[in-house]
Amino acid sequence: MNLVTLQFKTTNDFSWNLDYVETLINKAPPTSFILAPELALNNYAYNRMDDAVEITARAIKLFKTLSQNKTIAITLTTKKESQYYNTLHIFHKGEIVHTQSKIQLFVLNDEKVHFTAGTASDMKIVDIDGLKVGAMICFELRFIDYWQKLRGADLILVPSMWGKERKENFETLTKALAVANQCFVIASDSANNDMAKGSGIITPFGDELRDDNKEYISKIVDVQEITKMRTYMDVGIN
């Protein structure tokens, strides 16, 4: 299986961002599993929330097409009635197979003011062609209860806009998540100037592939590593 994490700068031109994400996705070979940074199409554009919702509608149509032979995970700004949500979408075989809105909204950037928190029950392990996939969005990585909630996943996604002042925290926590849950982790962080980068692919053993100089990072992995690790170091994860 080919895992891909994207790490690029999001501009103020939402259409350009969508086109650029499409370019990066097209680099990935068929059957790849691709993760983009949190709100990669529009950032926290609080003064342009309806513009963000508009680009989300366009993006959903595009990603359904691009996911015919790939799996794409990306968080998008959504709106229900008068409330806005930061919502992860997973596209697979031309369909949306899972959504979950961010539960733990970040406290230092007014996210709680502009977004509504998601529902905890939506954070769950989903089966995608036999692969057990879970996700936590950025700040949620700091909450150990969610690590337990996703115990047993084969792959955990961490889309983020994680500040550069806490870069070491991000890299330490995503590696520890892979080791503790004995699974693969894809971490995707923004490359904007105030962001940490640190995107990477981490194995169940804790081996890391990261490169802050790349916008596209990929690694072919053997999912049997999960079974081997859980058998070799049995801590009760099935």
Q: How many CB atoms lie within 10 A of CB 158?
A: 28
- What does the pLDDT read at residue 109? 85
In a domain, 226, yes or no: yes
Q: What is the pLDDT of residue 108?
A: 79
Q: Would residue 11 count as lying in a domain? A: yes
Residue 142 pLDDT? 97
* pTM exceeding 0.75: yes
Residue 173 lies in a domain: yes
Domain at 75, CATH number: 3.60.110.10
In a domain, 237, yes or no: no
pLDDT for 238: 82
In a domain, 157, yes or no: yes
pLDDT given for residue 82 in this prediction: 94
Burial 76-112 (b: 16+ CB within 10 A, else e): bbbbeeeebbbbbbbbbeeeebbebbbbbbbeeeebe
Polymer length of the chain: 238
Quote the number of domains for the chain.
Answer: 1
In a domain? residue 238: no
In tens digits, the chain (238 residues) has pLDDT values of 999 999 999 999 999 999 999 999 999 999 999 999 999 999 999 999 999 999 999 999 999 999 999 999 999 999 999 999 999 999 999 999 999 999 999 987 889 899 999 999 999 999 999 999 999 999 999 999 999 999 999 999 999 999 999 999 999 999 999 999 999 999 999 999 999 999 999 999 999 999 999 999 999 999 999 999 999 999 999 8
The DSSP element (H or E) to which 189 belongs, if any, is strand 184-189
Question: How far apart are alpha carbons 29 and 166 in whole angstroms?
Answer: 33
Does the residue 88 lie in any domain?
Answer: yes
Tell me what pLDDT residue 168 has: 98
Domain containing 73: what range?
Answer: 2-232
Q: Does the residue 153 lie in any domain?
A: yes
What 3-state class would DSSP assign to 81?
coil
- d(CA 128, CA 90) in angstroms, rounded, equals 10
